[in-house]
Amino acid sequence: MTEKRYRVVGMTCEHCVRSVREEVLDVDGVDTVDVDLALGTLRVQGEDVSDAAVSAAVVDAGYKVAAT
C-alpha cells in the first residue's frame, strides 16, 4: 500500500471535503481518503493509484490539485 498527498485548491467548507472524499474514493485502487480542510490537503492510500485519476476526481468534485 502506498500513500500519496495532494494540495487541493478551492475547498471552503465541510461539503467541499465530502465531495472530494466521495469522488476520490471511486478511483481504482484507492482504499482510504483523508481530506484536511484547514490545510487544504488530500491524503490517499491504496495500491497503484494514478495521480491523473486522483486529479480528475478532484476536478469532478469541482476543485483542482495544485502543482507541487
pLDDT digit string (tens) for 22-50?
999 999 999 999 999 999 999 999 999 99
Mean pLDDT of the 44-62 span = 97
Phi-psi group of 46: left, alpha or beta (phi > 0 → left; psi -120 to 50 → alpha; rest → beta): left
Instruction: Please check whether residue 66 is in contact with residue 39, taking contact to mean a CB–CB distance below 8 angstroms.
Output: no
Q: What is the pTM of this model?
A: 0.94
- Taking the C-alpha atoms of residue 64 and residue 31, their distance in angstroms, rounded to an integer, is 21
**Cβ atoms < 10 Å from Cβ of 18:** 12
Phi-psi group of 12: left, alpha or beta (phi > 0 → left; psi -120 to 50 → alpha; rest → beta): alpha
The residue with cell 502506498 is 2
Domains of the chain: 2-65 (3.30.70.100)
pLDDT of residue 67: 75
